Structure 1
Amino acid sequence: MLVIVSVTLSVAAADLLMDTVEHRRQAPFYTNLTPAELAKLPVVTSGTITGAYVDEITDLDFHEAGTPWLWAGQRQGSIEFLVKGRWNNIGCHDDRDYPYSSRPAVLFVGDSFIETMQLDVRDTFYDRLRHDRFGERFDVWACGAAGFHASRAARYFDNDPKATEVPAFRRLASLRPTYVMYVVYMGNDLRDEAGSWFEDAEGHGAPCAPRLEPGQSFLWFRLRQVADMYLTPGGADVRCLNNSFWPYVKTRIPAVEEGWRSMFEGLDRLNRTVTRRGGTLLVGMIEPFPVPYGSFAMARAIRANYPGGKALPLDLALPHTRLAAFAASRGIAFVDFSEALRGCGGRDHYYPSDSHFNAVGHRCVAAYIDAHQDTLFP
C-alpha cells in the first residue's frame, strides 16, 4: 500500500512540475498584426482578461464575401492569438478568390480546422502547399466553417435551398475541382451531425462535478487539479467526458452511433456529387488534442479536466479503424492527419487552449500531403 501511495505521489509531483514549467515557458501570443495596428487596439498581453474583453477586440462579419475580419483567442487570462484575415469571393479564409486559374484544383473542405482563423493565411497548410511541388501541379483551395459537417457540405455542393447558414458558400456548387478532400474533425463532426442526440445524452442523470478553473494562483489551482487527477477514484460517466472524446469510448453510445450514421450518409451524398461532376473525393481525419500523442497523454488530459470520466475504457484506434473501413468500402482514399503530426515529432502542434492546429501543426500537415501527393492525388 505504501508503495502505491509513494508511486502515486511521485507521478503527481512530476505532473505538477512538468505543467508548471510548460506554463512558465509559454511563447508570446501569435499575431499577424503590425505594431502600428496593435497600438490601435486595447491589447492586453499579460494579466487577466475575460471573454467579454476578447469579444471587444473581435471584429467579424461571419463569412461575408470580400470582407476583412479580426479574431482572438485567450489562454489562462492572456491572449493566445490575434489574427486578421479576409473572406474571399465565396466566404472562405484566403487572400485569393476561387478559381484563380484554369489549372486542376484540389479543394479542402471541413470545419474550423480548415477555416483556420487562428493563423495568417500564409501559415496555413493549404497556402504552404501552393509553394511546394504540390502547387506546381494544382491550384489549392480551402473552405471551412465552425460547425460544418459532411451532410452540410453535401448540401452546399448540391446547391440545396436548405443550405442557408453561410450564403456565400452556395457558390461552392459552381466550382469544379479535380479533387475534393472532406476533412472530418473527429468528435465534433459526429456531434454536429447528431446534435439533438448529443443534447439528450448530456441532459439526463446527475450533474457532473464542476470543472476546476484557474484562479489567481496557478500553483494552487494545479495542486487542487493534481489531487483530483491522482487522489480520487473518479468515475465512468460518459457525460462527464468532453463529447469530442466519446468516439474513443469502447462502450456503444447511441448519440455517437447516430453521428456516424448521419456522417456516412453525408459523405456518400458528397461522393456522388463530386463524382458526377468529374472529380474525386478523399476523406481526411483530424483528431482532438491530445489523441495523436497516445494513451498516456490522453489519460493525463482526462484526469486533469474530466475526472468524472477517467475510469471509462478507451480505444484510441476506434475512429481511425471505422472511418478508414468506410472509405475503403467506397474506394475513397483516406488520410489520417495524426500520422502527419507523429511523423514531425514533438507535441506542440496545437494551440494549448484553443486546441486547433498552430503554425507548426499546419507545417506538418503540408509536408505530409506534399510527400504523399503522388499516391493521394495521382
Structure 2
Amino acid sequence: MVATSSSAEASRRPAAWIALALFWAAFAYLWVWPWFRPRGEYLWGHVQLRDIYFGIPIAAATLCLTIVICCRARARRSVALRLAAVTVPTIALLFIFDAVYTFGYLKIWRTNYYFDLAKVSRRYNAIDEELGFKRLARVSWRGRKSAETGEVYFRTDENGFRNPPGIERADVVFIGDSYTEAAELPEEQTFVRRVAQATGLRAVNLGVGAYGPQQEEVVLRRYALAYRPRVIVWQLFEGNDLLDAQGYAKWRESPTRPYLPLAARYFNNSLINEWFARTRLRAPERNLAPATIHYTDGTVRELFIRYPYLPDQPVQKVWGFEETKRALEAGTRLCRERGIELLVVHVPVMVRVMAPFVTFAREADRGRFLPGEVVQSEGDFESELGRFCHQIGCSYIGLFPVFRQEAARDNRGLYIPTDEHLDARGHAIVARTIGEWLAQSNELNYSK
C-alpha cells in the first residue's frame, strides 16, 4: 500500500513541476520581461494595464503553487486548502469591488464625450444633460497637478465650483475654463481671489476646466445671474476654446453616441487603474513640439509646447468661432437685460508671449507654432474677438500686449511650462489688469 502511494506521489510530481514552471513563465512574462522590453505606460513605462489585471491572479497563483510544492508531502493538501481559502476570495473580492466601483459608482455604462474622449475624470464630475458634465458639489482633494506645481487644496461649493461654501451674492462673477478655475494654484493666488483682495469686492469663481464658450454661456445663465452681480468677467483662451466650441457642438448633435467601447471605458476608469495611475509614464503627444525656453535670469528649460499661435484661427475653425460668437451674443443680451456689465478677457497662448525666448528643436515646428514669426495679426482670434465684442457692445481686454511687455521685463512665473496654464505671476498680471478696468467701470463704486 505504501509502495502504491509513493508511486502515485511520484507520478504527480512531474505534472506539478510542469504546472509550476508554466505559472512562473507567465509570471515572468507579465512582471519581469517588461522591465527589459517595455510594452506599456504603467510601472513607469513598462507594463500595460491588462498585464496588471492578468498579472495579479497569476502572481498569487504562482506564489501559492510554489509554497505548496515546497511543503512536505503530508502537509501539501492542508496548505493548499488554506491558501485557496484566503487567496481565491481575496482576488475575487478585489475584482468584484473594482467592478462595483467602476460600474456602480462611476457609471461607466453611460457613454459621455467629455469622460470618454476629453479625459475628464468621472470621480469628481457628473453627467449634465446641458453642460455635458459638471463638478460634483462639496468635494475636495489635496495634491499636485504636476511636478512644476506645489500642493493645492481644491474644493467645490454647493454648485460644484471652486469657492468656499455659502456664497449667495457677488459683485463680480468670473466665468471661464481651466485658466479661471486654476486648479494648479492655491485659491488665494488665482486672479479671482486676487481681484477680490485688491478691491474689497465680493467675487465668485465659476470657471471649469474643459468647458468651452457655449458651456460658459450656460453657466452664466444658470448660475452667474443668481448672484445678482454688477459685473461678469468672461475669460476665453486662445489655445483651445474654438476647438472646444466645435467639440461641444458635435456632442450636442449626438449626446448618447458611444465614443469608446465598454471595455475601454472600464479599464480607463477602474479602481486598479486609479491605484497604478501614479506609475503611469505618458509618452509625449505627437502634436507637441520640443523646444527650449531661455529665461531672463539666464536659466534654460527644455519642454514640449502644446498650443500653437494660429494667426488665421477664426478661419481655420470657422464653426467654432461662429459658436463662440453666438454664445457671447446670448450672454451679452442676458447681461444687458439685467443691467450687468460684461467684460470679455482673452488669454494668449504661452508660445506667442514667449516667442523671443523660444528655440525650437525642429525648424518645421517653428513654422507650425509661430508661422512667419507673426505674433499679432489683424485676423487672429484675439483681434477678431475684440472686433466682435465691440460690435455687440460688451467690453473687451486682449491680454497679449500686457503679457508681452511683462515678459520683456521678466519672463519668469508667467506660465507653468509643463501645461502652459498661468503661473502665480501670470494670475497677478490678469488680476491687476482687470482691477484697473474695474476702477474705471461705471457699475462699481470702487477706486484703487
Instruction: Give the TM bin, normalised by the shorter chain.
Output: 0.5 to 0.7
Structure 2 unaligned residues grouped into runs of 5+: 1-42, 49-120, 126-134, 252-284, 292-301, 444-448
Amino acid at match of 1:371: E
Instruction: Please say if 1:337 is aligned against 2:399.
Output: yes
Match of 1:145 in 2: 208
Corresponding residue SS for 1:94 = coil
Aligned match of 1:12: none
Matched, 1:258 2:319: yes
Give the % identical residues.
18
- 1:346 maps onto 2:410 in alignment: yes
Partner of 2:166: 97
Corresponding residue for residue 179 of structure 1:
231
Which stretch shows the higher mean deviation, 305-314 or 281-290?
305-314
Say whether 1:73 aligns with 2:145. Answer: yes
1:107 Cα deviation from its structure 2 partner = 0.8
Residue of structure 1 aligned with 2:178, choices 89, 92, 112: 112
**How far has the Cα of 1:373 moved from its partner?**
2.2
Contact (CA 8 Å) 2:158, 2:166: kept in 1 or not?
A: yes
Q: Kindly report which structure 2 residues correspond to 1:299-338, keeping only aligned pairs within 5 A, or say none.
A: 300-301=359-360, 303=362, 306=365, 309=368, 312-313=371-372, 315-317=374-376, 318-338=380-400
* 2:192 corresponding residue in structure 1: 126
What is the deviation of 1:366? 1.6
Give runs of aligned pairs for residues 240-319 of structure 1, distance below 5 A: 244-245=307-308, 247-249=310-312, 252-253=315-316, 256-294=317-355, 296-297=356-357, 300-301=359-360, 303=362, 306=365, 309=368, 312-313=371-372, 315-317=374-376, 318-319=380-381
Between the aligned partners of 1:305 and 1:313, the Cα distance in structure 2 is 11
**Cα distance, 1:209 vs. partner?**
6.9
Deviation at 1:145, TM superposition (A): 1.1
1:328/1:245 Cα in 2 relative to 1: closer, same or farther (>3 Å)? same
- Aligned residue number for residue 430 of structure 2: 365
Deviation at 1:270, TM superposition (A): 1.0
CA contact (8 A) 2:308 2:369 kept: no
Secondary structure of the residue aligned to 1:334 is strand
- What whole-Å deviation, never above 9, does each CA across 1:136-162 have from its counterpart, x for those lacking one? xx3111211122122112223334xxx
Amino acid at match of 2:336: T
In structure 2, C-alpha distance between the alignment counterparts of 1:370 and 1:335, rounded to whole Å: 12
Q: CA deviation at 1:122?
A: 1.0
Secondary structure at the counterpart of residue 185 of structure 2: coil
SS in 2 for 1:158: helix
Residue 277 of structure 1 and its aligned partner are, at CA, apart by 2.4
TM-score normalised by L of structure 2:
0.52
After superposing the two structures, state which structure 1 stretch, 145-154 or 263-272, moved more.
145-154
Contact 2:174 2:204 in 1 (8 A): yes
Label 1:121 to 1:306 Cα distance change in 2 as closer, same or farther (>3 A): same
Structure with max Cα Rg: 2
Distance in 2, Cα, partners of 1:116 & 1:304:
33
TM-score (norm 1): 0.61
Matches within 5 A, 1:148-227: 148-159=211-222, 171-195=223-247
Cα displacement string for residues 213-256 of structure 1 (whole angstroms, at most 9, x for unaligned residues): 89xxxxxxxxxx99xx9xxxxxxxxxxx95x4363248942xx1
Where structure 1 has 5 or more consecutive residues not aligned to the other structure, the ranges are 1-47, 53-57, 160-170, 200-207, 215-224, 230-240
Change (3 A) 1:177 1:310: closer
Counterpart-to-counterpart distance in 1, 2:248 and 2:188: 37
With over 3 angstroms needed to count, the CA separation of the structure-2 counterparts of 1:251 and 1:361, relative to structure 1, is: closer
Q: What is the rounded CA distance, in whole Å, between the counterparts of 1:212 and 1:333 in structure 2?
A: 35
Distance in 1, matches of 2:308 and 2:289, equals 19
Deviations 1:148-182 (A, max 9, x none): 122112223334xxxxxxxxxxx445232111111
* Alpha-carbon separation, structure 2, partners of 1:281 and 1:188: 22
**What CA distance in whole angstroms lies between the structure 2 residues aligned with 1:149 and 1:196?**
7
The answer to whether the 8 Å contact 1:65/1:89 transfers is yes
Cα deviation, residue 112, structure 1:
0.3
CA displacement 1:68-112 (0-9 Å, x = unmatched): 1234333xxx45443122111221112353225xxx611111000
Q: Which residue of 1 aligns with 2:82?
A: none
Measured at CA, do residues 129 and 96 of structure 1 come closer, stay the same or move farther in structure 2, by a change above 3 Å? farther
CA distance in 2, matches of 1:151, 1:196: 7
- What is the CA-CA distance between 1:192 and the residue it aligns to? 0.4
Structure 2 distance, partners of 1:263, 1:189, is 8
- Residue in 2 that maps onto 1:87: 156
CA distance in 2, matches of 1:319, 1:72: 32
CA 1:323–1:71: 2 relative to 1, 3 Å: farther
- Whole-Å Cα distance in 1 between the matches of residues 173 and 209 of structure 2? 17
